[in-house]
Structure 1
Amino acid sequence: MSCSMMKSLFGHKAWANTELFDVLETLTPGPDAHTAIRLMNHIYVVDRIFQAHLLGQPHGYDATNTKATPTLAELRGAVAEADAWYQEYVATLNEAALAEPLGFNFTDGDTGTMSREEMLMHVITHGAYHRGNVGQILKNAAIAPPRDLLTKFLHIAEPARRG
Structure 2
Amino acid sequence: MSSKTLLLSLFKYKSWADEELIVSLKDIEKDLGKEGLGQILETINHAHVVDRIFAANARKQKHDYRDTGTAETPKLAELSEAIRDTDRWYLGYVEQLGPHELVETIRFTFTDGTPGEMSREEMLAHVITHAGYHRGEVGRIVTQLSKPSSPDTFTGYLHRAEPARRLSEL
Q: Which letter does structure 2 place at the counterpart of 1:73? A: A
What is the CA distance between 1:94 and its match in structure 2? Answer: 2.5
What is the CA distance between 1:146 and its match in structure 2? Answer: 1.4
Alignment RMSD, CA only?
1.0
How many residue pairs end up in the alignment?
A: 163
The runs of 5 or more residues in structure 1 that have no matched partner are: none
Partner of 1:96: 100
Partner of 1:139: 143
What is the CA distance between 1:79 and its match in structure 2? Answer: 0.2
Deviates more, 1:86-95 or 1:10-19: 86-95
What is the CA distance between 1:162 and its match in structure 2? Answer: 1.8
Partner of 1:24: 25
Q: Which letter does structure 2 place at the counterpart of 1:33? A: L
The whole-number CA distance in structure 2 between the counterparts of 1:94 and 1:5 is 13
What is the CA distance between 1:118 and its match in structure 2? Answer: 0.7
Deviations 1:129-148, CA, capped at 9 Å, x for gaps: 01000000100111121120
What is the CA distance between 1:12 and its match in structure 2? Answer: 0.3
What is the CA distance between 1:101 and its match in structure 2? Answer: 0.1
Deviates more, 1:21-30 or 1:133-142: 21-30
Partner of 2:160: 156
Structure 1 residue runs of 4 or more that deviate by more than 3 Å after TM superposition: none
1:69 to 64, 68, 73: 73
The whole-number CA distance in structure 2 between the counterparts of 1:24 and 1:146 is 8
The whole-number CA distance in structure 2 between the counterparts of 1:151 and 1:86 is 21
What is the CA distance between 1:24 and its match in structure 2? Answer: 1.1
Deviations 1:103-157, CA, capped at 9 Å, x for gaps: 1111112211100011001101100001000000100111121120111111111
Tell me whether 1:109 sits opposite 2:136 in the alignment: no
Partner of 2:13: 12
Q: Which letter does structure 2 place at the counterpart of 1:117? A: E
TM-score (norm 1): 0.96
The runs of 5 or more residues in structure 2 that have no matched partner are: none
What is the CA distance between 1:95 and its match in structure 2? Answer: 2.3
Structure 2 residue matching 1:112: 3-state secondary structure: strand
Structure 1 residue matching 2:97: 3-state secondary structure: coil
Give me the identity figure in percent.
Answer: 45
1:60 to 55, 64, 77: 64
